[in-house]
Amino acid sequence: MKKKILSIFLAAMLLLGLSACKTQQKESSSQIYAMDTIMRLTAYGSKGEEAIEAASELIMRLEHLWSVTDEGSDIWAINEAAGQWVSVTPETIDLLTNALVLAEETQGALDPSIYPVVRAWGFTTGDYRVPTQQELTALLERVDHSAIEVDAEGKRVRIPDGTKIDVGAIAKGAAGRMAAQLMVDLGVKSALLDLGGNIQPVGVKPDGSAWRVGVQIPNYEGTAYLAAVESTGRAVVTSGGYQRYFEMGGVRYIHIIDPTTGYPAESGLDSVTVVGEDGGLCDALSTAIFVMGEERGVQLWRDRGDFDLLLIRADGSILVTEGLEQSVMLADGYGDTKIDIAR
């Protein structure tokens, strides 16, 4: 009899324990510095710690493949090959294949071969300067995404001698997507990967509710939020001039370059947030739509239908595409911000 009571007691304890696990899962987190930014990885559940370790390793490996300044990287090898074919990893083949499709689709607003122009402005070195028109005109002659050849079967890439590429506009999103997939493969059901403003969730929060991702007020001294977007697994990626810029002679020069002019993009937008299943696509599109502006960006949204947009215009007003209508909320104190909905 005593034994029976004990086993009922034990079973009850076990049940209690299990339900406690369900609502209060173990949280693991880690911070790494990669791809020029601080990344914060958080995962829930018993597999979280191991998955974060694996995801960190993956991100570091991708950084070594995709860095434009790291002499061992695939991108470095392509840039230094003086017009010859270069064998690269399957990850780089995928990255560049996707980039070229989007370069085509955005009529070159996204162009990995913009690198010499980005460098001339000092954005890779920190030696900021305003290049002359003559210099920019000469550099722009080398900017042409259609000259990048990707041989997917042979796993090799070739660019003309003098052309240089950089994947800074697309690498973090692709890394986030791959890290999230790795976590899913390792059994993680709930995680939030913050790759320096590229937010890549896995599933929903441990309590079953949506993640809330803040959208920053552009051009703000410090960090403050204008709105939040709810996500149940979709990536939320923002591009904005405020993320990297320098000032000279009272003028602000931002790091996103319009490949048609060689000058920092001026499309009337202060930030572009793209929300979608594919974090790699979101990263590429946030940069491209920042260059393209509202009209062309919304047109692309209509044409593709696989992402949503939150645009902050230079006048402070917001445009969201209808898929976000129910999941955007304004931050306290900004409730009277004008929001237009694109349908």
Q: Which stretch binds Mg ion (CB under 5 A): 209-217, 285-293, 308-316, 326-334?
A: 285-293
HSE of 209, CA atoms in CB hemisphere, 13 A: 8
What is the C-alpha separation between 115 and 167, in angstroms, rounded?
9
Closer residue to ligand AMP in complex, CB, 65/188: 65
Identify the residue among 200, 287, 321, 327 touching Mg ion (CB under 5 A).
287
DSSP helix, strand, coil percent of the chain (3-state; round to 5)? 40, 25, 35
* Contact predicate 245/257, CB 8 Å: no
Q: Least distance from C-beta 259 to ligand AMP, angstroms?
A: 5
Provide the residue type at 180 as one letter. A
Give the list of residues 6+ apart from residue 251 with CB closer than 8 angstroms, or none: none
* Contact predicate 121/256, CB 8 Å: no
Judged by CB under 5 A, the chain residues 158 through 197 that form the site for Mg ion are: 169
Pull the structure tokens for residue 200: 């890549």
Site of tokens 């990626």: 237
239 to 278: interface string for ligand AMP, x by CB under 6 A: x---xx----------xxx-x-------------------
Closer residue to Mg ion in complex, CB, 168/206: 168
* Contact predicate 188/233, CB 8 Å: no
Told to check if 63 binds ligand AMP by CB under 6 A, we report no
Identify the residue among 169, 227, 285, 300 touching ligand AMP (CB under 6 A).
169
What is the C-alpha separation between 179 and 209, in angstroms, rounded?
22
Q: What does 118 interact with, of Mg ion, ligand AMP, none (CB < 5 to 8 A by kind)? A: ligand AMP
Q: Which is nearest to 252 in space by CA: 224, 218, 283, 226?
A: 218
Question: Total residues contacting ligand AMP (rule CB under 6 A)?
Answer: 20
Told to check if 142 binds ligand AMP by CB under 6 A, we report no
Closer residue to ligand AMP in complex, CB, 169/312: 169
Identify the residue among 74, 230, 283, 294 touching Mg ion (CB under 5 A).
283
Task: Provide the binding-site residues for ligand AMP, judged by CB under 6 A.
Answer: 110-112, 114, 118, 123, 166, 168-169, 239, 243-244, 255-257, 259, 283, 286-287, 291
Residues binding Mg ion (CB under 5 A): 169, 283, 286-287
